Amino acid sequence: MFKRQIELIRKNPKKYLREHLLLFEDALDSVSTDNLLFLMLSSANYESVYYFDKVKAQLESKHDELSDPLRAYIYFCAEGIMSRSIMQPTNALRSFVNAYDRALLLDDPALIARSLVHLSTSFHLIEDLSLSISYATKAVEMTPYVDNPALKGDIYMNYGFLLHERHELKACLNAYHHAENYYAKLDERDEYLNYCVLLVNIGEAYFQSENSSKAISYIDTALEIANKQGFFPFLQGSIKIISDYYRRSNQLDKANDILNMYLDSHIKMTLNREKPAVVKHTGSLLKELESIHHLASQNTQLAAELESLHVILQRRSDHTTLKEDIIHTIAEGLKSNQFVPYVQAKWDTNTREIIGGEVLARWHYSDADIRTPYAFIDYIEDTPLIGKLTEVLLDATFESLGDLLSNRRQFRISFNLSAYQLVHQNIVGLLEHHCVKYGIKPDQIELEITERTFFENDKKAIEQLHHLWGNGFHLSLDDFGSGYSALSSILSLPLNTVKIDRSLIKDIDSFEKSEKLFIHIVEMLGDLGIETVAEGVETSRQLSIIKKTACRICQGYLEQAPMTTEDFKHYFYQHSQ
């Protein structure tokens, strides 16, 4: 029964909402949990923030009933779909990972395959095309185990779409035709929103491969269906391409008609004349509107409406797209080598000999604008981009400091890892690959991991930590004492070193209690066989207190601030003749 409902929702979310939600709109508290979940899924698919929030709020009170994996699956899918359509890709990714997890638990091929497609779409949104394709491929590999032709169609459509993006037009069309064949098996394929989208996509691909007669025939069918089923607002991106095509072939009336139909449906929703309000990625919609603006100039009525829509979108985009824009800029920066490693020395408390260094990322945005991690880590910490950052830093660091590392076998270099990398990425593989590539021994590499990661208790993360430990990498707990100190995790996880956060070091020379706390922490960790590093050492008075303890390693401005790898190399050799 669940599957039937899910299929009806995917088929035509608007129709589902109209037939179900409107009946209950003012009596949501009497709706069963399952029906609420279906309403949540349909409002997400229909991209209606208005209904989605309403239904979700109602579901909050039924939290206990959502532990059932199938219910949780629907809940997370709905959440992901909504986040995706309002362009919050990192939230979408998080929800889809949760949905995938439940699908695996249920061991249901259809749910697993659908989750793979969802994951693929969210990676696409954060512009990680290779991960996106890799999940799309996994979904394609699942099709033999899937019965539902509509789902098979969706899987191939997504795959084809990504191939189009990669400019592999032939392979793309091939995938699209697979999708088309699956949809052909459905009794009422014209009622499926995705079928209509597929036809437009195929049309676009044929336009690009200069086969305009095929293109036109697909597009015409799509327009006919869109008109009849009310699918117009969902076709927005493609509409411009279609209308452009007609304009170029001098069919101005037709071009204008299409723009009109599109704007009409959009304006209705944007102005909230009709609930629900569709919220699209306003940034891209704006760009799109700008580029079709001149087309509308022949039609004053159209131009006026366009203008008002423009103003509304402008206002909205000011605060909704900022975060996404930053993520986008970071992704671009990672591609064009704007992220560079800085290194800060770690030194022996007693001899001041430099025994290692911590790699700290810097964003070289321009010569006059070099940004610290506060400007970027938060934005990407829960996305695959954080793995990309580590990869970039590993390469740059080893290229510059590879010689130093092999000349001084005692020297150890540290990298910061985020929870996401241990939970979702193959960090073991990445590090091993770099060790082999640059001929570096794992025992010269230390990984700094924050308390949060240890705290998450994720199975894969813990496995990877043990794997790293087993291979000889050093593991260090970062920022100890800055937040929730998961003392018990220190006992259960592999660990060489604990870095005592600079907030605890700050006052050791001015407050007796801080000093005592520090001394006891070092002693306690020493008893457990764990080495300590004092972070943020700024004054010689702090150092003299640290010297009284068993804390053997310091890091801080007293000796050296983070500097480029080349500067660090000079500094190191001058210091240790």
> Residue numbers of the site for ligand G (CB under 6 A)?
344, 358, 360-361, 372-373, 377, 386, 389-390, 393, 416-418, 448, 478-479, 499, 502, 535-538, 555-557, 562
416 contributes a contact to Mn ion by CB under 5 A: yes
Please give the helix or strand (H or E) that residue 98 lies within, else none. Answer: helix 89-106
The values of phi and psi at residue 447, to 5°, are -115, 125
- Smaller CB distance to Mn ion: residue 204 or 478? 478
Q: Which does 88 bind (CB under 5 to 8 A by kind): ligand G, Mn ion, none?
A: none
DSSP at 124:
H
Rounded to a whole number of angstroms, the minimum distance from the CB of residue 109 to Mn ion is 42
Of 38-46, 63-71, 226-234, 476-484, the segment contacting Mn ion by CB under 5 A is 476-484
The residue among 359, 423, 439, 432 whose CA lies nearest residue 392 is 359
CA dist 102 and 100 (Å) reads 5
Rounded to a whole number of angstroms, the minimum distance from the CB of residue 380 to ligand G is 9
Q: Which does 199 bind (CB under 5 to 8 A by kind): Mn ion, ligand G, none?
A: none
Q: Which does 538 bind (CB under 5 to 8 A by kind): Mn ion, ligand G, none?
A: ligand G
Q: Which does 556 bind (CB under 5 to 8 A by kind): Mn ion, ligand G, none?
A: ligand G
- Smaller CB distance to ligand G: residue 180 or 478? 478
- Smaller CB distance to ligand G: residue 198 or 354? 354
Q: Which amino acid is at 202?
A: I
For residues 446-465, which are near Mn ion according to CB under 5 A? 448
The residue among 495, 486, 489 whose CA lies nearest residue 533 is 495
- Smaller CB distance to ligand G: residue 39 or 422? 422
Residue number of the CB atom closest to Mn ion: 448
Report DSSP letters for 400-447, one per residue: HHHHHHHH-TT-EEEEEE-HHHHHHS-HHHHHHHHHHHHT--GGGEEE
The residue among 26, 52, 48 whose CA lies nearest residue 37 is 52
- Smaller CB distance to ligand G: residue 270 or 344? 344
Rounded to a whole number of angstroms, the minimum distance from the CB of residue 492 to Mn ion is 21
Rounded to a whole number of angstroms, the minimum distance from the CB of residue 499 to Mn ion is 6
478 contributes a contact to Mn ion by CB under 5 A: yes
Is 44:78 a contact under the CB 8 Å cutoff? yes
Of 88-96, 159-167, 306-314, 470-478, the segment contacting Mn ion by CB under 5 A is 470-478
- Smaller CB distance to ligand G: residue 273 or 374? 374
Which tokens hold the place of 186? 């459905």
Strand segments, DSSP code E, in 451-557 are: 474-480, 497-500, 531-535, 553-555
Q: Which does 389 bind (CB under 5 to 8 A by kind): ligand G, Mn ion, none?
A: ligand G
- Name 419's Cβ contacts closer than 8 Å, sequence gap at least 6: 381, 449, 450, 452, 453, 456, 458, 461
Q: Would you call 8 helix, strand, or coil by DSSP?
A: helix
Task: Return the bridge partners of 556, or none.
Answer: none
Reply yes or no: is the peptide bond before residue 276 cis, omega within 30 of 0. Answer: yes
Rounded to a whole number of angstroms, the minimum distance from the CB of residue 413 to Mn ion is 12
Of 226-234, 297-305, 413-421, 522-530, the segment contacting Mn ion by CB under 5 A is 413-421
- Smaller CB distance to Mn ion: residue 501 or 515? 501
535 contributes a contact to Mn ion by CB under 5 A: no
Radius of gyration of the chain (CA): 28
Report DSSP letters for 225-247, one per residue: HHHHHT-GGGGHHHHHHHHHHHH
Q: Which amino acid is at 199?
A: L
Rounded to a whole number of angstroms, the minimum distance from the CB of residue 119 to ligand G is 22
- Smaller CB distance to Mn ion: residue 243 or 416? 416
Rounded to a whole number of angstroms, the minimum distance from the CB of residue 562 to Mn ion is 11
Rounded to a whole number of angstroms, the minimum distance from the CB of residue 458 to Mn ion is 20
CA dist 102 and 2 (Å) reads 15
Rounded to a whole number of angstroms, the minimum distance from the CB of residue 511 to Mn ion is 25
Rounded to a whole number of angstroms, the minimum distance from the CB of residue 486 to ligand G is 17
- Smaller CB distance to ligand G: residue 327 or 393? 393
CA dist 68 and 243 (Å) reads 47
Q: Which does 393 bind (CB under 5 to 8 A by kind): ligand G, Mn ion, none?
A: ligand G
Chain contacts with Mn ion (rule: CB under 5 A): 416, 448, 478
